[in-house]
Structure 1
Amino acid sequence: MRAFQVQSHETAPVIIDLPLPEPSNSQIRVRIHACGLNFADLLMQKGTYQDTPALPFVAGMEVAGVVDALGADVSGLNVGDRVAVFGGQGGLAEYGCFEAIRAVRLPDAMSFEDAAAFQIAYGTSHVALDYRAQMQPGETLLVLGAAGGVGLTAVEIGKLMGATVIACARGSEKLEIAKAAGADHLIDAKTEDIRAVVKSLGGADVVYDPVGGEQWIAAFRAANPDARLLPIGFASGEVPKIPANHMLVKNLTVLGVYWGGYLQYKPAVVTDSLTQLFAWYEAGKLKPHISHCLPLDQTAEGMELLRSRKSTGKVVITP
């Protein structure tokens, strides 16, 4: 099979031929139809992600496809089932072996491409806003990076949860995508003062931030007393410092969110969230935005779209 393999943190990944993998007793083998790219894939290539696998490894965190073989101890799944899996690695290949416990059956109406774009982005936003921030109807949600892979889902889910959503992104094209997802107010991060605009709109009760850097600082200063701030990631490349004295004065709460971590020690948080998200999808309330769908040979180009922030929503690879 062909696969996109990271062989060194100092050199570019390569597409190579590997033997067809065999599932262990607890695994399934999946013929992969689609793999969603994530910013974490870029960090793994550099060796800076918190869950970077040992070298060499096949990149690709989330996949959708058809069960092709079963390990001896697997029950509840059958060869031919359509599934999505968050494997953490191994998705940018024609086949992959993954723990069966991480597989979820797909709704009949969900395409493989939608499924590969769904779990991490929607799961992160729903767990962040519902489980972590416990956001309530009528609150104001500020979403930074609002046209990106996770930011756009936060706009959608925020609206479904009854929030007033302020979307911040760079440029009119990205802001139009956020508006189409339901944003009530738009801020152009290239030309506008984030803090001033948010304050003029009454401040933010919840801040969802996959960007970090200066945007985090502006959002922090625009947060209302008792606000909850959610650091999701640091696409700007800068991990900001959090001034504890300001947290104290305004009674602010900063809530870290690592969706994949719950799979390790509290998996019901993820499974309960996905149940709700799939129900919303089947009801037509959620629709993944995929700006680029590329073949395996163009995986490097897909990664560059993420690195240069030229994509919106998700980039999906179809092995």
Structure 2
Amino acid sequence: MGTHRVVWRLDRAGSIDRLRQVEEPVPDPGTGEVRVRVEAVGLNFADLFAAQGLYSATPKGSFIPGLECTGVVESFGPGAVDSGLAPGDRVVALTRFGAYATRLNVGVEYLRRAPPGWSAVQAAAWAVQGLTAWYAIVPLARVGAGDVVLVQSAAGGVGLQALAILATLGARPVAVVGREEKRRFLIEHCGLAESSVLVRERRQFGARLDDALAACDAKGFDCVLDAVLGPGFRPAFERLRPEGCCVLYGAADFMSRSARPNYPRLAWSYLRRPRVDPLAMIAANRSLMAFNLIWLWERAERLPAAYAGLERLAPDPPHVGAVLPFDDAPSALRLLQGGGTIGKVVLEV
């Protein structure tokens, strides 16, 4: 028989203020599905963009946000019993929306046992941002030992995971953050040299990048990791060495600081968005790659290898900067939206 759950649901995209907590039935798990009792939910910028209607993959009409959670296996649908999981196992779940819930049914191919010894909160902070960092650095950029890598938004969830992966690979990171307190955190907790951590300043950003490269005795970056797509994009891209690449996986600079999108500002930002000339890229021998991790939903067979690669290169639990009760989801989203957090924001059920 079915049971009930509590979810955060929007009747339609367009504003964070449309988020409402409701109780609703959850059906028995279908073929190949596992029912999970959720313990913690990881928040991502995609949740904000989806709520505001600015995310291309946002469902039409009413939907439940959320791309990842951690919970305990409760029951199995037909065909899922032989998954190797057992009732009571703690799992990490990837969802194409729907994670802001106290229970949900998930296809077994989107589940992975939580790393042993990790709390539910730590495990909920792991998958989306860890896999994003891994995919950008390893399959796409192919970063190796000694490479100089610029990491934009380095104190965010993806940024911290990227720094952990780069350390294992023996690469040399240059980290960019938006606030001085984040700079101090990276120096004190991530072991980065002061010369390798920059606070983003529009007018002096290029000169600061030159200073960081000089401190590394490098003539250019081997890789730039960018989730911002703001004024810092071009100075960084222009400092790629020959054969260097920029990997773009977000556009946080387009984020509205209010509940609804600021359409005049969005239009202005869109018109002024960075552009690159393919002919100039040929001459400079540089490349630009971009991706949205949600494409992995269609290629679930690649998830086990991706998780294994992430576990090997970043074996420690991710940093969780804020934990809020599940009932405070709107407050958690606004906290994330404010840009002051370090690491992951997680809802605890």
- What TM-score, normalized by structure 1, do the two folds share? 0.93
Question: Match of 1:67, SS?
Answer: strand
Mapped to 2, the partners of 1:219 and 1:101 lie a distance apart of 38
* Equivalences for residues 8-19 of structure 1 within 5 A: 8-11=12-15, 12=17, 13-19=19-25
Corresponding residue of 1:272: 305
How far does residue 182 in structure 1 lie from its aligned partner after superposition? 4.1
> Which amino acid is 1:230 matched to?
V
Question: Match of 2:232, SS?
Answer: helix
Question: Match of 2:157, SS?
Answer: coil
Mapped to 1, the partners of 2:140 and 2:180 lie a distance apart of 31
Alignment of 1:120 onto 2:128: yes
Mapped to 2, the partners of 1:294 and 1:251 lie a distance apart of 46
* Equivalences for residues 37-48 of structure 1 within 5 A: 37-48=43-54
Does the C-alpha gap of structure 1 residues 229 and 191 become closer, same or farther in structure 2, counting only changes over 3 Å?
A: closer
> Which amino acid is 1:307 matched to?
Q
How far does residue 315 in structure 1 lie from its aligned partner after superposition? 0.2
Deviating runs (4+, > 4 A) in structure 1?
none
Unaligned runs of 5+ in 1: none
Mapped to 1, the partners of 2:313 and 2:164 lie a distance apart of 11
1:196 to 199, 203, 207: 207
* Equivalences for residues 210-221 of structure 1 within 5 A: 210-221=227-238
> Which amino acid is 2:197 matched to?
L
> Which amino acid is 1:10 matched to?
G
Corresponding residue of 2:329: 299
Alignment of 1:261 onto 2:295: yes
Structure whose CA Rg is larger? 2
Mapped to 2, the partners of 1:86 and 1:194 lie a distance apart of 37
Mapped to 1, the partners of 2:339 and 2:96 lie a distance apart of 22
Mapped to 1, the partners of 2:29 and 2:161 lie a distance apart of 33
1:83 to 91, 95, 98: 91
How far does residue 21 in structure 1 lie from its aligned partner after superposition? 3.4
- Number of equivalences: 315
Corresponding residue of 2:249: 232
How far does residue 41 in structure 1 lie from its aligned partner after superposition? 0.4
Question: Match of 1:146, SS?
Answer: coil
Question: Match of 1:150, SS?
Answer: helix
How far does residue 156 in structure 1 lie from its aligned partner after superposition? 1.6
Q: Does the aligned pair in 2 maintain the 1:6–1:56 contact within 8 Å?
A: yes
Mapped to 2, the partners of 1:288 and 1:264 lie a distance apart of 26
Corresponding residue of 2:258: none
Corresponding residue of 1:313: 343
Give the fraction of aligned pairs with identical amino acids, expressed as a percent: 28
How far does residue 164 in structure 1 lie from its aligned partner after superposition? 0.6
Which piece of structure 1 moves more, 190-199 or 248-257? Answer: 190-199
Alignment of 1:205 onto 2:213: no
Which piece of structure 1 moves more, 204-213 or 147-156? Answer: 147-156
Q: Does the aligned pair in 2 maintain the 1:169–1:188 contact within 8 Å?
A: yes
Which piece of structure 1 moves more, 289-298 or 149-158? Answer: 149-158
Corresponding residue of 2:192: 183
Corresponding residue of 2:276: 242
The CA deviation string for residues 220-263 of structure 1, in whole angstroms up to 9 with x for no partner, is 12221211100010001155322323312210011113223134
How far does residue 78 in structure 1 lie from its aligned partner after superposition? 2.1
Unaligned runs of 5+ in 2: 255-268
Alignment of 1:164 onto 2:172: yes
> Which amino acid is 1:218 matched to?
P
Does the C-alpha gap of structure 1 residues 68 and 54 become closer, same or farther in structure 2, counting only changes over 3 Å?
A: farther
